[in-house]
Amino acid sequence: MPDSLTTTSQHISQPSTMASTKEPEPSVTGPVPLPFKDADVDDDAVQDPQLKEYKRRASELPSNPTRLRTRLRCYQGTWVLEQWVPGIMAIQRGFAPRQGDVIVASPPKCGTTWLKALTFATMARGVYPPTHAAHPLLRLNPHDCVPFMENLFAAGLGSKMDALPSPRVMATHMHHSVLPASIRANPECKIVYICRDPKDMLVSMWHFARRLRPDVRLLDDMFEPACDGSGLSGPIWNHVLGYWNASKASPETVLFLRYEEMLRDPVGNVKKLAHFVRQPFSPAEEEAGVVTDIVGLCSFEKLKNLEVNMPSSDVREGNFPKDSYFRRGVTRDWANHMTPEMAARLDAVMEEKLRGSGLSFSSLLRDRRP
């Protein structure tokens, strides 16, 4: 994981109405970057009997080996990386959201990094206007600003979330059905979900995996498990349906976004996001161009070309280099890697599983291409 930067907790204020490069006032905050490294295991946590028990239980779950020297485990009907399972168990057992907390949820490789950046920049604009010369996103990877909960709790660092000021922004790849009731049934905890055409998601995941294991095969190692529901974060249709149904039942607590629509109208979707998290842009902010400044700050090209996200030789074994989170960021890249037969098969699987839900990836892409 990327290195993080120590920050000082302050008090909460309303978002600024004008973009500025002035140093933020010490008494103003919103979400802050992590004041600890979410990949470093807490020494005390290593001895925690409960965490050891979670790891033991994870090792006994049904498994599905991958070519990344790790295993997928089937936990509560979902396929997740073995190292995530203890973190999920710890979250289910003891995570207590605060009023104003926001959870960014997604399957892997569906625009998570972009949504993290947009959510953080939107909610932190009271501390760091998007044009601020010292904005955290100019010097930190978005994953330093929005922690991945499964890794955090598996490393024994979950309690350190208490040190972060409100409102907090966190991220997860958990299925909606696996979320603890403290999140799932909490009207004060907002969930922002993003998904993507599964074909593009799969190709993006393949390229991502190949950064550590160039021998990973798209067809045998990724495509077949995706189709039968045993791939990472699978079954993917259950992942999407869980949040889709929750957004229909409780639109005030679950915002359902699609990557393709975000690309078509980033400004409109950032406004929607801000309203959803109860930090709508004021007329003065809109007139000053704050929304477009946030979109520009978080754009793919901007983030990709920052020094902090450039390729680096300083990568710890088993962790992905920071530049691996910024490959292409486009739609329909699947056509460059899948045969028409493969695409038709995955489309058919998804259409069958989503039938009757009101959600369709095929119609979205067919009728509303960029």
Catalytic residue set: 173
* Whole-number Cα distances in Å, 254 to 188, 191, 192, 245, 251: 11, 5, 6, 9, 5
Pairing of strands 63-65, 71-75: antiparallel
In angstroms, the CA 365 to CA 24 distance is 42
Strand runs (DSSP E) across the chain, as ranges?
Answer: 63-65, 71-75, 78-81, 102-105, 169-172, 190-195, 254-258
Task: State the DSSP H helix or E strand holding residue 198, giving kind and residue range, or none if neither.
Answer: helix 198-210
Q: Order across the sheet with 190-195: list the strands.
A: 169-172, 102-105, 190-195, 254-258
Task: State the DSSP H helix or E strand holding residue 264, giving kind and residue range, or none if neither.
Answer: helix 259-264
Nearest CA-CA partner of 31 in 112, 124, 143, 135: 124
Q: Are 196 and 333 in contact (CB under 8 A)?
A: no
